[in-house]
Amino acid sequence: MKYPAIQNYVHGSFVNPSTSKTLDVISPIDGTLLSTVPLSSAKDLDDAVKSAAAAFPAWSRTPIKERVQVFFRYKTLLEKHLKELAELCSEENGKTYGESVAEIEKCIELTEFATSLPQLVTGEVLEVSRGVECRTEHAPLGVVASIVPFNFPSMVPNWTLPNAIALGNCLIMKPSEKVPLSCGRLAELLKEAGLPDGVFNIVHGDVEIVEAICDHPGIEAVSFVGSTKVAKIVYQRATSNLKRCLALGGAKNHLMVLPDAIPGMTAQNVAASMSGCAGQRCMAASAMIGVGNVDAIIDKICDEARKIIPGENLGAVINKASQERIEGYITEAEKNGAKILVDGRNAKVKGKEGGTYVGPTVIDFVTPDMSVAKEEIFGPVISIMRTNTVDEALAIENANPYGNAASVFTQNGGMARYIIERASAGMIGVNVGVPVPREPFSFGGWNESKFGVGDITGKSSIEFWTKLKKSTIKWNAEAGVNWMS
Ligand code: NAD
* Residue partners of 76: CB distance under 8 A and separation at least 6: none
In a domain, 78, yes or no: yes
In a domain, 476, yes or no: no
User: 28 CB less than 6 Å from ligand 1?
Assistant: no
Q: Which of 89, 214, 245, 282 is catalytic?
A: 282
The confidence band for 304, taking pLDDT boundaries of 50, 70 and 90, is very high
User: 177 CB less than 6 Å from ligand 1?
Assistant: yes
pTM of the model: 0.97
* φ and ψ of 266, to 5 deg: -65, -45
56-99 pLDDT per residue, tens: 999 999 999 999 999 999 999 999 999 999 999 999 999 999 99
CA angle (205 as vertex; 202, 207 as ends), nearest 5 = 130
Does 333 lie in the same domain as 222?
no
Strand partners, 219: none
Half-sphere exposure of 72 (CA within 13 A, CB side): 9
Lowest mean pLDDT among 35-49, 111-125, 311-325, 463-477: 463-477
Distances (CA, A) of 204 to 28, 200, 266, 421: 20, 13, 41, 42
In a domain, 71, yes or no: yes
Write down the H helix ranges in 116-180: 117-120, 155-166
Does 339 lie in the same domain as 191?
no
**What pLDDT, on the 0 to 100 scale, is given for residue 484?**
60
User: 201 CB less than 6 Å from ligand 1?
Assistant: no
User: 172 CB less than 6 Å from ligand 1?
Assistant: no
Q: Tell me how many domains the chain contains.
A: 2
Rounded mean pLDDT, 390-407: 98
- Dihedral, CA atoms, 373, 377, 378, 380, nearest 10 degrees? -70
Q: How far is the CA of 321 from the centre of ligand 1 (A)?
A: 15
In a domain, 480, yes or no: no
Rounded mean pLDDT, 156-165: 98
Task: Indicate whether 227 pLDDT > 70.
Answer: yes
In a domain, 397, yes or no: yes
C-alpha to C-alpha distance for 316 and 323, rounded to whole angstroms: 9
Half-sphere exposure of 196 (CA within 13 A, CB side): 21
**What pLDDT, on the 0 to 100 scale, is given for residue 480?**
73
263-275 and 295-306 are packed helices; what angle lies between their axes, rounded to 10 degrees?
50
In a domain, 479, yes or no: no
Does 233 lie in the same domain as 285?
no
Q: Please, what's the b/e burial string for 16-42 (b: 16 or more CB within 10 A of its CB; e: otherwise)?
A: ebeeeebbebbbbbbeeebbbbbbbbb
**What pLDDT, on the 0 to 100 scale, is given for residue 23?**
98
Does 259 lie in the same domain as 205?
no
Q: What is the DSSP string of 176-218?
A: -TTS-HHHHHHHHHHHHTTPPTTSEEE---SHHHHHHHHH-TT
User: 404 CB less than 6 Å from ligand 1?
Assistant: yes
Domain of residue 323 covers 253-401+405-430
In a domain, 148, yes or no: yes
In a domain, 212, yes or no: yes
User: 207 CB less than 6 Å from ligand 1?
Assistant: yes
Q: Are 409 and 257 in contact (CB under 8 A)?
A: yes
255-303 pLDDT per residue, tens: 999 999 999 999 999 999 999 999 999 999 999 999 999 999 999 999 9
For residue 389, what is the domain's CATH number?
3.40.309.10
Write the residue with the smallest CA distance to atom 20 of ligand 1.
207
Task: Indicate whether 198 pLDDT > 70.
Answer: yes
Does 96 lie in the same domain as 48?
yes
Does 283 lie in the same domain as 197?
no
**What pLDDT, on the 0 to 100 scale, is given for residue 477?**
78
Does 172 lie in the same domain as 74?
yes
Task: Indicate whether 479 pLDDT > 80.
Answer: no
**What pLDDT, on the 0 to 100 scale, is given for residue 475?**
83
Rounded mean pLDDT, 405-422: 98
For residue 449, give the ligand 1 atom closest to its CA: 41
Task: Indicate whether 481 pLDDT > 90.
Answer: no
**What pLDDT, on the 0 to 100 scale, is given for residue 476?**
80
The confidence band for 199, taking pLDDT boundaries of 50, 70 and 90, is very high
Lowest mean pLDDT among 126-130, 244-248, 359-363: 126-130
* Residue partners of 465: CB distance under 8 A and separation at least 6: 140, 141, 144, 163, 164, 167, 169, 221
User: 455 CB less than 6 Å from ligand 1?
Assistant: no
Task: Indicate whether 485 pLDDT > 60.
Answer: no
Does 293 lie in the same domain as 231?
no
Does 372 lie in the same domain as 327?
yes
**What pLDDT, on the 0 to 100 scale, is given for residue 416?**
98
For residue 234, give the ligand 1 atom closest to its CA: 20
282 is a catalytic site residue: yes
What average pLDDT is seen over the chain? 97
Q: Are 326 and 340 in contact (CB under 8 A)?
A: no
Does 229 lie in the same domain as 88?
yes
For residue 203, what is the domain's CATH number?
3.40.605.10
Q: How far is the CA of 433 from the centre of ligand 1 (A)?
A: 23
Does 263 lie in the same domain as 226?
no
- With a pLDDT cut of 90, the percent of the chain lying above it is 97
Q: Are 32 and 1 in contact (CB under 8 A)?
A: no
Q: Does an H or E element contain 235, and which?
A: helix 228-240
Q: Which of 227, 273, 325, 448 to mutate to test the pocket of ligand 1 (most atoms within 8 A of CB)?
A: 227
Does 233 lie in the same domain as 345?
no
- Length of the chain, in residues: 485
355-397 pLDDT per residue, tens: 999 999 999 999 999 999 999 999 999 999 999 999 999 999 9
Q: Which of 230, 404, 448, 461 to mutate to test the pocket of ligand 1 (most atoms within 8 A of CB)?
A: 230
